[in-house]
Structure 1
């Protein structure tokens, strides 16, 4: 509890909450700190969303399994991000995808009633909360559109174009494993490897274990 109070200004939403309010909420457990171990499922698809959860530490992934059984990582959430903020006040408050702790993770759980009270009585908190869920909804929508109905090559090309802009080089250094990259674009590891080989044979790329080099601007 003391650690949370010492670091409350590291979190956008908590900055707007007085320390006395935090203490009282933690004491009455309308707000509580919950740890999760690496790879532990936080919410299964279809679970009821009764709280909003602020990520205090760790990394959380939002995933879905497509009709072919491929695991697709839709979004990666980090400290200061919120789970369930766009669902908790919905008429159908159920998680549409699985949420998993990618690393050891700690969440601050805010019960629906507490969240409503904060939004009603604290205009600064309300503005910050609405800004976050609006921006996050747009980001999640963009990620879903990014992958739906795309071929493996189209998804790979989109990924490489983005990394080319970020890294400023034709040689794209892989910041994740090929297994993680396959999950990100929603395909099996073997399918990714086959498509990489096809793209190499077509003279588009060259690659090794740590990088992909663009031979033509994609």
Structure 2
């Protein structure tokens, strides 16, 4: 538990909270830790989401499915990331999203809404957690806007260029490692994996990019 507390102290959600405040908040918010294996689903599609999750270790993807089972990756979760916060506060709690574990993971679940209980609202950690949550939701909104920009491009190549360009600016380099494997990237950009692989190969042949596995280098022509 001690290691978990020191880890949480470095996360965005618990930023500026003392260890004692984190311990108290976890107790008050009924926090519970659970381990998931690769390919496990954290939520059951169509079922209410009544807890917020925070990734302690491992990786996961937030996935949206349509009526026919077509999947789109909305975002990738790393240690320190939270999920389920928006759906937790919505009146309609039967979303068509899921969180799929891509690497054995430990998830900390807690009832964030309890922070608004009359007793908890007076606690010293309360305002800090609310401000931190607001910051996280704002940043997620920006990331969602970026994704919309990528997937609304007309061609597969334009979608790839849009995504890789964003990565280059993010890492401030023309060489970087992306967060997705090929299937995950295809799901994220809403394209077929074969079409994605074919277009990446063409772009490399045309000396527009270089790549090996998930490491990419963008080439700017003179």
Per the TM superposition, whether the score is higher than 0.5 is: yes
What pairs up with 1:74-153 in 2 under 5 angstroms?
Answer: 74-117=74-117, 120-121=121-122, 122-148=126-152, 150-153=154-157
What is the SS of the residue equivalent to 1:57?
Answer: strand
Structure 1 residue 31: Cα displacement: 1.8
Q: How many pairs align?
A: 212
Q: Structure 1, unaligned stretches of length 5 or more?
A: none
CA contact (8 A) 2:150 2:163 kept: no
**TM-score relative to the length of structure 1:** 0.75
How far did 1:113 drift?
Answer: 4.6
Cα deviation, residue 155, structure 1: 0.6
Partners in 1 of 2:157 and 2:52 — Cα distance? 37
Q: CA RMSD in A?
A: 3.4
137-146 or 55-64, which moves further after superposition?
137-146
Q: CA deviation at 1:205?
A: 3.1
Matches within 5 A, 1:1-218: 1-14=1-14, 16=17, 18=21, 21-22=24-25, 24-25=27-28, 30-65=30-65, 71-117=71-117, 120-121=121-122, 122-148=126-152, 150-165=154-169, 166=171, 168-169=173-174, 172=175, 175=178, 177-199=181-203, 203=206, 205=208, 207=210, 209-210=212-213, 217=221
Q: Is the 8 A contact 2:150 2:189 kept in 1?
A: no
Unaligned stretches of 5+ in structure 2? none
